[in-house]
Amino acid sequence: MDQGDPESDPDAGDQEERCQIADRRDARAGQRDDEAALRDTRADEREKLADEREQRLDETEAQQDHRARAVGTPTTTLRHRAYEALERSRAAVKRSAARLQRTDATLQRADVDDTREQSVIAREVAETEQAHNAQPEQQSRGSGDDTTT
């Protein structure tokens, strides 16, 4: 049996299997990250539309009040409008907090991705070094002659 043959070294097969498992795990993690990013993008779009809708409602409400005052119709009290504006502001704060949490989660996923990528790189470097270190041993065993001069 050849020493460099993976079939003759049971540890090489285990290492290859571990690498394949790690690669599959990394691929699944990448898919989950992509799905989370898509969900975040959709949520941001929904919140942007909600913010625009709230802005339009505020403007419409102000125009209606102005028209009503111009024709002498009683309008909703300023205090009532202030409470309504306060509720809209609270809703905007909640959306903003949700957006902040999504941004934080995105950054945390990016940190995990970086760590995972560094692990992959470290694993590949170790494999390369192991293969490189095994080559001189195989060559010296295969030649059978003394390499000292």
Q: For residue range 86-98, what is the model confidence (pLDDT) as tens digits?
A: 898 898 899 889 8
Residue 111 pLDDT more than 90? yes
Three-state DSSP class for residue 8: coil
pTM of the model as a whole: 0.49
Based on the number of CB atoms within 10 Å of its own CB, is 84 exposed (0-12), middle (13-18) or buried (19 or more)?
middle
Structure tokens at 61: 């409400």
Q: How confident is the model over 33-79, as pLDDT tens digits?
A: 889 889 888 988 988 898 898 889 888 888 887 887 788 777 677 77
Q: What token pair was written down for 148? A: 């000292």
User: Within 13 Å and on the Cβ side, how many CA atoms surround 68?
Assistant: 11
Strands, DSSP E only, in the chain?
A: none
Alpha-helical segments (H) within 1-149: 10-71, 78-143
Identify the pLDDT of residue 90. 92
